């Protein structure tokens, strides 16, 4: 059984990254934007794991980073959701278009 070449994996992670980017820019709903951010983070995770496997098979550094990022992402999600709840309380909506008081 032949191995999956690295280009496939990179293609997957790049696609994931840009899907995330697209979501981040086009969605106005903050929860969807949060999900898009998670997609971007996961694309990075995939890159880490893939390069770890192909470049330094004997080491685990990339894997550690992946776990680290997952942890951070969990914490970040908690914070983001707290912000979203507060936004909802003050604006009665979680649409980012409505929250633009902090302009010039």
Partner 1 sequence: MNHYSYIALIPLLPLATFVILGLFGRKYLKTFSGTIGVASLLISTLLSLQVAYNYFLVDGKVNGVYQQIIALKYTWLQFSPNVSIDLGIILDPISVMMLVVVSFVSLMVHIFSLGYMKGEERFATYYSFLSLFTFSMLGLVISTNIFQIYMFWELVGVSSFLLIGYYFEKPSAVAASKKAFIVTRFADLGFLIGILILSFHAQTLDFETLIARLTDTHSTYFTAISTATFLGASVLTWGLALVFIGGAGKSAMFPFHIWLPDAMEGPTPVSALIHAATMVVAGVYLVARLFPIFSVDEFALQIVTYVGLVSAFIAAIIACTQTDIKRVLAYSTMSQIGYMMFALGVAKQGGEEGLGYMGSMFHLFTHAFFKSLLFLGAGAVIHLVHSNDMKDMGGLRKLMPITHLSFLIACLAIAGIPPFAGFFSKEEILLAAFNANKLVYGVALFTSGLTAFYMFRLYYSIFWSKEAHVHDAHHGEGTWSMKLPLIILGIMAAVAGFIPFSHFVTSDGAALETHIDYVFSAAPVLFGVIGILLAAVLYKKQNAKPEAVAASFGGFYKSAYKKFYIDEVYLFVTKKIIFNLIGRPAAWFDKNIVDGFMNLLATVTAKISGLIKGMQSGKVQNYTLYFFGGIVALAMLFIYVWK
Integer Cα distance of 65 and 71 in angstroms: 10
Q: Does 103 bind partner 1 (CB under 8 A)?
A: yes
Q: Which of 24, 31, 75, 90 binds partner 1 (CB under 8 A)?
A: 24
Q: Does 101 bind partner 1 (CB under 8 A)?
A: yes
Residue 68 to residues 20, 64, 78, Cα–Cα distance (Å): 20, 6, 16
Q: Does 104 bind partner 1 (CB under 8 A)?
A: yes
How many residues interact with partner 1 (rule CB under 8 A)? 11
Q: Does 77 bind partner 1 (CB under 8 A)?
A: no
Listed in sequence order, the DSSP H helices in the chain are 6-26, 30-55, 61-91
Distance of CA 7 to the CA centre of its chain: 21
Q: Does 99 bind partner 1 (CB under 8 A)?
A: yes
Which residues lie near partner 1 (CB under 8 A)?
Answer: 21, 24-25, 96-97, 99-104
């Amino acid at each position: 059984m032949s191995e999956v070449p690295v280009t496939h994996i990179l293609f997957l992670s790049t696609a994931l990254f840009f899907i995330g980017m697209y979501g981040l820019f086009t969605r106005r709903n903050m929860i969807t934007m949060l999900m898009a951010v998670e997609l971007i983070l996961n694309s990075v995770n995939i890159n880490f794991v893939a390069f770890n496997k192909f470049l330094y098979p004997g080491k685990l550094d990339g894997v550690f980073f992946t776990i680290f990022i997952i942890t951070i992402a969990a914490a970040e999600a908690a914070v983001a959701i707290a912000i979203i709840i507060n936004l909802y309380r003050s604006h009665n909506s979680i649409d980012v278009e409505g929250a633009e008081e902090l302009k010039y």
